[in-house]
Chains A and B, each alone.
Chain A
Amino acid sequence: MKKARAREGIRTTGIPSKEELEASPGYPKSDCLARGPIVVIECVQDIPCNPCEGACPSGAIKVGNPITNLPVFDVEKCDGCGTCIPICPGQAIFRVDMTYQTDEATVSFPYEFLPLPKKGDVVQGIDRAGGAVCEAEVLRVQQPKGFDHTAVITVIVPKNMAMEVRSIKRAKR
């Protein structure tokens, strides 16, 4: 068991482990998710980087000094606007809305591939390891000029997949 754990984690697999995520001050506690749309920051390494802090219009993200601090997320201040999603150079910020429907949640994530999906498309929801875990219906594709070519896609997924789905399967070009 211990051995298996040593092989997990972002440094070995490129995927943040459950422990790494839960230890990160940007990752919301599970009881916060019921409040409505909030961002989920999956930043677990001390990279010198802080654009998320300046991007948040409500001051919900704090990095401070030094800039290698992990972003601290204040769920009280977050209104789920998602401005921080396309800003993060590591594409490590997502938005989850557990209140979307009784059985369904929405997940928003950055996406920089072609072709872009369209609203209403039913695609495959992809987890952090790149595996297809469920069907996902595209609710929104945002790509205003300010995002500088990083689209933010929102998909509808079963509620139990909201903390698993982090992208969608890329369509063939």
Chain B
Amino acid sequence: MKNTDMVVVGGGAAGMAASIEAACAGAEVVLIDENERPGGQLFKQIHKFFGSEVHRAGIRGIHIGRDLLKEAEEAGVQVRLNTVVYGFFPDKCLGLMCNQHTEELQAKMIILATGASENVLAFPGWTLPGVMGAGAAQTLINIHRVLPGRSVLMVGAGNVGLIVSYQLLQAGAEVVAVVEGLPTISGYGVHASKIRRAGVPIFTGHTILRAEGKESVERVVIAAVDKSWQPLAGTEKAFEVDTVCLAVGLSPLAELAWMAGCQFIYIPEIGGWVPVHDENMETSVPGIYVAGDLAGIEEASTAMEEGRLAGLAAAEALGCLSSKDGRARKAEVWERLAALRIGSFGHGRALAMEKILRAKGVG
């Protein structure tokens, strides 16, 4: 069996940042991703990021992704693409599969940065072709450069729903409306303003009743809902669309963390079941770290910071960083992370993170 210092599973924002930090500290790092190219969801984030200069605010996600790839290469991270981690076995041994061949790789430290998957919403007609995740539509338009349809109804006015609506417009589709069950828009108001200026109505307090069509979506019906989420009779509106995008939240992709025996905690605000971890992102299983959406659904900026934190902490645990240097470097990241979790949009996530730390007994 092959051995290495560190394996990072998932080559998205968190995994790349973790790999770079650990490799720069001198660890031998293998970064594994099941896709043909690394970057995770960064390469479909074609909008400019928020935050401050240290978070690379004002830069588009694609460019941050390109920079991370370059840094990873320069740091000597071994990137293995098209490789699925199919199992987590005892003694930190990972089962890998690539081109129908399997092998095992054992690591002293493992960082799981497996990301998240989109939630679905069931309604009559939701299985029809044309109903898809908002993230799916974003992949199609921004990476593969193909429109999923000509006219779209977006369900969900969180940041994903708002951003993807805007990007669908940029790609040349029409977005007939954004529907949000809550009475208010939960994403950033500025994202909502952009699509309102572009002529897209946002129906808060509304839900999708059904999608209709013979072989694929041809029409949707929405309606206002009361306080108990029941549709109000007489408020139905119909739209002729060929696509419905669902932006109704994300859930951590936690299979490997479950297999590794990590302790979990249920926190709906950040996606449901998430692995408990300490301030170094280390889980209840010593030597196994988590970062990014797996550690609680947030955004690319926080994912990168969490990745850096996990990479530094794991490098420190390996002895690649002195505890003095490690502590100083981690303190910088903690500060940057804290800055992203303040205000009315960040407060709930900050509380959720405190809950996780308390569950680990370090809060």
Give the CA-CA distance A126 to B200 in the complex, in Å: 12
Given A12-B185, A50-B52, A50-B57, also A45-B190 (CB < 8 A): yes
Contact partners of B51 in chain A: CB under 8 A: 48-50, 67
Q: Is B193 in contact with A128, judged by CB distance below 8 angstroms? A: yes
Within 8 A of B (CB), among A7-44: 10-16, 42-44
- What are the 7 closest A-B residue pairs judged by CB atoms, nearest first? A90-B190, A14-B192, A68-B343, A10-B189, A46-B343, A130-B199, A51-B58
Given A11-B185, A51-B53, A130-B199, also A68-B169 (CB < 8 A): no
How many whole Å from A42's CB to the nearest CB in chain B? Answer: 7
Give the CA-CA distance A23 to B6 in the complex, in Å: 51
Within 8 A of A (CB), among B181-200: 183-185, 188-200
Q: Which of A50, A150, A166 has the most CB of B within 10 A?
A: A50
Q: Is A11 in contact with B189, judged by CB distance below 8 angstroms? A: yes
Say which residue of B195, B196, B343 sits within 8 Å of A48 (CB atoms): B343
| Chain A proximity mask over B50-88: 1 for CB below 8 Å, otherwise 0 | 111100011110010000000000000000000000000
Say which residue of A66, A90, A173 sits within 8 Å of B50 (CB atoms): A90
Contact partners of A143 in chain B: CB under 8 A: none
Within 8 A of A (CB), among B126-143: none
Contact partners of B200 in chain A: CB under 8 A: 130
Give the CA-CA distance A51 to B58 in the complex, in Å: 6
Q: DSSP majority for the B interface?
A: mixed
B346, CB-defined interface residue at 8 Å: yes
Say which residue of A15, A87, A113, A128 sits within 8 Å of B169 (CB atoms): A113
B323, CB-defined interface residue at 8 Å: no
**CB closest chain-B residue, reference A11:** B184
Contact partners of B185 in chain A: CB under 8 A: 10-12, 14
Q: Is B189 in contact with A14, judged by CB distance below 8 angstroms? A: yes
Known: A47-B190, A48-B343. 19 other contacts (CB 8 A): A12-B183, A14-B185, A47-B50, A48-B52, A48-B341, A48-B346, A66-B343, A68-B342, A68-B346, A88-B58, A89-B47, A90-B188, A113-B198, A114-B170, A126-B199, A128-B197, A129-B196, A170-B169, A170-B199
Contact partners of A103 in chain B: CB under 8 A: none
**CB closest chain-B residue, reference A127:** B197
Contact partners of A89 in chain B: CB under 8 A: 47-50, 57-58, 190
Q: Is A48 in contact with B339, judged by CB distance below 8 angstroms? A: yes
What are 17 residue pairs bridging A and B, where the CB atoms are less than 8 Å apart in the complex?
A: A11-B184, A42-B193, A50-B51, A50-B52, A66-B342, A68-B346, A89-B47, A89-B49, A89-B57, A90-B188, A91-B190, A92-B190, A126-B199, A130-B196, A148-B59, A150-B48, A170-B169
Contact partners of A46 in chain B: CB under 8 A: 342-345
Interface residues on B, range: 35 or more
A167, CB-defined interface residue at 8 Å: yes
Given A43-B190, A66-B342, A68-B343, also A14-B196 (CB < 8 A): yes
B204, CB-defined interface residue at 8 Å: yes
Say which residue of B58, B170, B184, B194 sits within 8 Å of A87 (CB atoms): B58
Within 8 A of A (CB), among B98-125: none
Give the CA-CA distance A167 to B200 in the complex, in Å: 13
Contact partners of A67 in chain B: CB under 8 A: 51-52, 339, 342
Interface residues of A (CB under 8 A from B): 10-16, 42-51, 54-55, 66-68, 87-92, 112-114, 126-130, 148, 150, 166-167, 169-170, 173
Within 8 A of A (CB), among B11-58: 47-53, 57-58
Contact partners of B50 in chain A: CB under 8 A: 47-49, 89-90
**CB closest chain-A residue, reference B167:** A112
Q: Is B196 in contact with A13, judged by CB distance below 8 angstroms? A: yes
Give the CA-CA distance A160 to B150 in the complex, in Å: 36
Q: Is B204 in contact with A130, judged by CB distance below 8 angstroms? A: no
Give the CA-CA distance A45 to B201 in the complex, in Å: 20
Given A45-B190, A90-B191, A126-B197, also A51-B170 (CB < 8 A): no
Q: Is B193 in contact with A92, judged by CB distance below 8 angstroms? A: yes
**CB closest chain-B residue, reference A44:** B189
How many whole Å from B94's CB to the nearest CB in chain A? Answer: 36
Give the CA-CA distance A55 to B63 in the complex, in Å: 19
Give the CA-CA distance A121 to B340 in the complex, in Å: 42
Q: Is B47 in contact with A48, judged by CB distance below 8 angstroms? A: no
Contact partners of A44 in chain B: CB under 8 A: 189
